[in-house]
Chain A
């Protein structure tokens, strides 16, 4: 870099008063011999005083700090949605039938104990969907919710209430089953763990979803009877029937068992049923407000 260019670059700093004494003396010496830099310095000094002058008329708005703090302390829409969801879950956790929490856990504990004693993992596979289905049939409706009419009178729509309860109860059941599966690691090889989880996850999505939908449409008792029937049907053996009938039924039973052994299909169908259930929760309101007596 030649010295002229060096000094040209230092000129704004000189005009802004940012150079030290030594640098200023050097630059002064160059200025004496360089008309171009003299002209530039005049320009920079004018720019400096222009900027200073225009800023001296500027007054920072009073009370802005207050506004900033106001907007800091106002929760964002995202935070508000979080807070609303949390409150809904908290309130619904209080409203669902409380005996369900310990009874699901106790049943699962018995299931795990029996499985470990008998060394038969299939016991948990039978039991988990039944527990999950039963607990979902008592989620909604005047028989199970003493505050049902109040719930329906609140601005929160029935499907949101149902979704909140569903998330709580089904989430609880899934966690219980996962913990139970961890215990089963005592008798199954670790590399089979996820295969085992998948084997109950499918039925545990489909069966409770069906139970929930039926309970909204026909009431809890009917719903439990139907879904338990459907679930247990796959374990029946048609061979005790007359030979002609058995021959007809065996392929059907094969297909039926095959259906319950396909996790992806069951999860997809279960999610579909849940959507229908949530949709019909709003539509089924007249049945729900009818007094249980």
Chain B
């Protein structure tokens, strides 16, 4: 078996802090222009990359476009992948810059589609519990953060990147990553407090 597509396999692959032989072999095949290797790459990392693109753009169509453009860009530069960092963070870096570029070209920072997506994820009123309310407030807080701040949170909490890797993906100094985390904490705390006050008051 060439690729371990099981969930456990995927998890360990993404969690490990170095490239597996499998990753390096895959990159070689991609650099050689092998179509099947692109399918394998997508099976391995597509889910994570799409989740990241969606977190930054906030709308499914935009995320799909971003991911497609990113993979086309990656295809052209697999030759330059030296294996210094993880393949996942290299790919996330491409998605990051493609997404921010597309956000800059978009007139509105948050599209109406994004609002709808958010609404559909909110639980129905019957299911309202205190935990749900807390969770809904947090969601509002997350979406009101800028794409750069959402990016850092997503990279740390979902993609499992170290702060150094986050700095590489965003191409900013380590100190900036730390200050973005600190800003996100203060901003989320403020949103939670404000919304809590509005609801109780």
Contact = CB atoms under 8 A, between A and B. Distances in A.
Interface string A41-81: 00110111011111101111100110111011000000000
A13 B138 contact: no
A46 B134 contact: yes
Interface string B41-65: 1110011011100110000100010
A64 B178 contact: no
17 contacts: A8-B182, A9-B178, A9-B181, A9-B182, A13-B156, A13-B163, A17-B160, A18-B160, A47-B153, A51-B154, A58-B51, A58-B54, A61-B64, A61-B67, A65-B39, A65-B41, A67-B68
Interface in B150-198: 153-154, 156-158, 160, 162-163, 178, 181-182, 185, 188-189, 192
A40 interface: yes
Question: Considering residues A52, A53, A59, A61, which has the most beta carbons from chain B within 10 angstroms of its beta carbon?
Answer: A61
A65 B139 CA distance: 30
Nearest to B35: A69
Given A13-B163, A65-B42, A60 B157 contact: no
A69 to B, nearest CB: 5
B38 A16 contact: no
Contacts of A8: 182
A47 B138 contact: yes
Given A64-B50, A67-B68, 14 more contacts: A13-B162, A13-B163, A16-B156, A16-B157, A46-B134, A46-B138, A47-B188, A51-B153, A52-B158, A53-B135, A55-B158, A61-B60, A65-B42, A71-B68
B110 interface: no
A12 interface: yes
Interface string B130-155: 00001100110010000000000110
Contact of B185 (A40, A55, A57): A40
Contacts of A55: 51, 55, 158
Given A8-B182, A16-B160, A47-B138, A68 B71 contact: yes
Interface in A1-58: 8-9, 12-13, 15-18, 40, 43-44, 46-48, 50-55, 57-58
Nearest to B134: A46
B181 A57 contact: no
B75 interface: yes
A272 B185 CA distance: 68
B121 A57 contact: yes
* Interface size grouping (class) on chain A: 20 to 34
B38 A68 contact: yes
Contacts of A40: 185
Question: Considering residues B41, B138, B142, B192, which has the most beta carbons from chain A within 10 angstroms of its beta carbon?
Answer: B138
Given A16-B160, A65-B42, A71 B72 contact: yes
Question: Considering residues A8, A16, A57, which has the most beta carbons from chain B within 10 angstroms of its beta carbon?
Answer: A16
A64 B138 contact: no
Contact of B188 (A18, A43, A52): A43
Given A8-B182, A9-B181, A16-B157, A50 B46 contact: no
Contact of B157 (A48, A59, A61, A64): A48
Contacts of A60: 42, 46-47, 49-51, 67
Contacts of B158: 51-52, 55
Nearest to A73: B35
